[in-house]
């Protein structure tokens, strides 16, 4: 705790008439200590105080040696004068500093204090004034020098520097008294009982004080930005999809999306596969709610559990076979990929690599009663990536799909402009891209004013008939979709350049607690 100077300040003021500069009255006390005493006395009007900032001059390290020993030229002169004649080569040793000897000689010549005599130096002046040395001495005592040209000169020679000093000019206030009684902060039962309350000095309430911060929870920035996205989707008439399945089958994550089984995305390097249990049952109707209890892992290992309770419906069988056919030999007007499609590959369990797995599941449900629909989801996905400043093995995707009759690519572009426009992102460009499940596909770019370049902000496309028709969706129905990461806009909005500061074990909780809410359409 800082030392209490209150009594000393009062006594200094008592002895002074007029103003006192605290830095002079308490030269060895640090500013914080002085300030706290001044503030305390000022708040009760024991004194009046005005903060003054002053510039002080201080000799540098080199300047200080001049203060102590005189300037180099004066030192050279005094050695030469004392001895009458000094061999130049021996000057350094006589002074004890080769640099001082060399530099001092030059200046002493210039000042015409000494001259050369063969290989020696002899005095010229009878006596000298060490101007530089004296100026520095004055500065080291008075902290200032009236001659501004000399000050500029010494600064240029790096012999002095400036230092800002904050100090208070104080004088007695209306309540000045030598006795600083500590004010009572509580009216106690004892004070009432013994009558001391009558004379006690009570501390007035400080209505300007900020209250102690209340401990509270805080929303993660990703949650705040997610809410912004949800609001945009709801405003545009979208329904939120259930995203609670982190584990999906290869079927929902890939095959149903017409991603061939040899596709590099299905490689171990890109996808996390589940080892226990490694395989799921073929896709089927969700079990009725009361059956779920019978199917929990604790009852029986799920990869061994019997599938007899929930039969694969004809509809699912049809979907499963359609998917096989569209991959293996082609169907619905498509020639397919023409490779032997493996059920085992399709039943492998994976951590979902995109939320398009959920969109697919929802679209196949829509096929039972085809109608215009708008769905969205915002949740976590997993990719087996090398972690660096902009990539994590898990992140969040924002995804939307729109189903209707008569949708066109132009409509998708227009829709993207409205959607991103609601976030304040206006100049969009579209670049042809490739996804196994959309045709055409487009990457979406926007101009980043800070980075001064076009950055990719999303991926989109019209879903392929090879994906939609096996589900039983009508041939003339069109569905488009798009996806983007939640992290990218969050990082831009919160000025985070390393994704690890946003998500994962390195996140600073203080950062989470102190960040304000954001509005996507405001900069």
238 binds ligand PHE (CB under 6 A): no
Q: Which C-beta is closer to ligand PHE: that of 104 or that of 481?
A: 481
What would the DSSP string read from start to end of 244-312? Answer: --SEEEHHHHTGGGT--TT-GGGSTTTSPBP-SS-B-PPP-PPPPGGGGGGGSTTTS-TTTS-SSSSPP
Q: How far is the CB of 32 from ligand PHE (least distance, A)?
A: 55
Q: Which C-beta is closer to ligand PHE: that of 283 or that of 481?
A: 481
Q: How far is the CB of 484 from ligand PHE (least distance, A)?
A: 8
Contact 295, 287 (CB under 8 A): yes
105 binds ligand PHE (CB under 6 A): no
Instruction: Give the SS3 label for residue 445.
Output: strand
Neighbours of 447 (CB within 10 A): 14
Phi, psi of 392 (to 5 degrees): -125, 165
> Distance (Å, rounded) from C-alpha 208 to C-alpha 428?
49
Contacting residues for 455 by C-beta, under 8 A, at least 6 apart = 445, 446, 447, 448
Q: How far is the CB of 261 from ligand PHE (least distance, A)?
A: 18
Q: What is the edge-to-edge ordering of all strands in the sheet holding 438-448?
A: 239-240, 373-382, 394-405, 477-485, 453-463, 438-448, 428-435
253 binds ligand PHE (CB under 6 A): no
Q: How far is the CB of 237 from ligand PHE (least distance, A)?
A: 18
Stretch that binds ligand PHE, among 7-15, 66-74, 454-462, 493-501 (CB under 6 A): 454-462
Helix axes 131-142, 72-83, angle to 10 degrees: 130
Contact 85, 113 (CB under 8 A): no
According to CB under 6 A, which residues from 459 to 498 bind ligand PHE?
Answer: 459-461, 481-483
Size of interface with ligand PHE, in residues (CB under 6 A): 11
322 binds ligand PHE (CB under 6 A): no
Q: How far is the CB of 479 from ligand PHE (least distance, A)?
A: 9
Stretch that binds ligand PHE, among 89-97, 100-108, 187-195, 456-464 (CB under 6 A): 456-464
Site string for ligand PHE, 407-446 (x = CB under 6 A): ----------------------------x--x--------
According to CB under 6 A, which residues from 340 to 359 bind ligand PHE?
Answer: 354, 356
Neighbours of 333 (CB within 10 A): 9
Angle at 328 between CA 325 and CA 334, to 5 degrees: 70
Q: How far is the CB of 459 from ligand PHE (least distance, A)?
A: 4
Q: In the complex, which residue's CB is closest to ligand PHE?
A: 483
Angle at 171 between CA 166 and CA 176, to 5 degrees: 130
Q: How far is the CB of 421 from ligand PHE (least distance, A)?
A: 19
271 binds ligand PHE (CB under 6 A): no
Residues that bind ligand PHE (CB under 6 A): 354, 356, 399, 435, 438, 459-461, 481-483
């Amino acid at each position: 705790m800082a030392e209490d100077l209150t009594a000393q300040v009062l006594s200094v003021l008592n002895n002074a008439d007029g103003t006192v500069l605290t830095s002079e009255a308490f030269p060895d006390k640090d500013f914080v200590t002085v300030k706290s005493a001044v503030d305390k006395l000022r708040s009760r009007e024991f004194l009046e105080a005005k903060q003054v900032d002053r510039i002080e001059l201080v000799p540098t390290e080199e300047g200080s040696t001049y203060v102590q020993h005189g300037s180099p030229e004066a030192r050279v002169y005094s050695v030469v004068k004392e001895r009458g004649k000094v061999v130049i080569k021996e000057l350094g040793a006589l002074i004890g500093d080769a640099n001082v000897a060399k530099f001092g000689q030059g200046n002493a010549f210039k000042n015409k204090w000494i001259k050369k005599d063969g290989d020696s130096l002899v005095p010229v002046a009878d006596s000298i004034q060490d101007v530089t040395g004296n100026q520095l001495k004055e500065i080291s005592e008075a902290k200032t020098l009236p001659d501004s040209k000399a000050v500029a000169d010494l600064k240029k020679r790096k012999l002095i520097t400036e230092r800002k000093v904050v100090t208070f000019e104080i004088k007695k206030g209306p309540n000045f008294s030598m006795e600083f009684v500590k004010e009572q902060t509580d009216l106690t039962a004892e004070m009432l009982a013994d009558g001391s309350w009558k004379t006690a000095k009570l501390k007035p309430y400080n209505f300007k004080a900020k209250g102690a911060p209340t401990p509270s929870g805080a929303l993660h920035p990703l949650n705040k930005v997610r809410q912004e996205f949800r609001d945009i989707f709801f405003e545009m008439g979208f329904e939120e999809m259930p995203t609670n399945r982190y584990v999906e089958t290869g079927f929902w994550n890939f095959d149903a999306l017409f991603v061939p089984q040899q596709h590099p995305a299905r490689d171990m390097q890109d996808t996390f596969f589940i080892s226990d249990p490694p395989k799921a049952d073929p896709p089927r109707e969700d079990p009725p709610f009361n059956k779920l209890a019978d199917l929990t892992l604790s009852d029986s290992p799920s990869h061994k559990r019997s599938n007899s309770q929930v039969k694969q419906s004809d509809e699912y069988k049809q979907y499963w076979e359609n998917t096989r056919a569209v991959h293996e030999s082609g169907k619905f007007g498509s020639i397919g990929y023409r490779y032997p499609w493996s059920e085992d590959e399709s039943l492998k369990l994976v951590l979902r690599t995109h939320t398009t797995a959920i969109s697919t599941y929802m679209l196949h449900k829509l096929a039972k009663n085809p109608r215009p629909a708008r769905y969205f989801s915002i949740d976590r996905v997993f990719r087996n990536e090398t972690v660096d400043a902009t990539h994590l093995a898990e992140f969040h995707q924002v995804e939307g799909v729109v189903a209707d009759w008569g949708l066109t690519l132009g409509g998708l572009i227009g829709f993207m402009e409205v959607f991103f426009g609601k976030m304040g992102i206006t100049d969009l460009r579209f670049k042809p891209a490739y996804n196994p499940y959309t045709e055409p596909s487009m990457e979406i770019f926007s101009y980043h004013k800070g980075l001064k370049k076009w950055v990719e902000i999303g991926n989109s496309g019209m879903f392929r008939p090879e994906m939609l028709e096996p589900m039983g969706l009508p041939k003339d129905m069109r569905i488009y979709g798009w996806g983007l990461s939640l992290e990218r806009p969050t990082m831009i909005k919160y000025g985070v350049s390393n994704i690890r500061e946003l998500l994962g074990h390195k996140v600073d909780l203080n950062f989470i607690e102190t960040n304000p809410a954001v509005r996507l359409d405001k900069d």
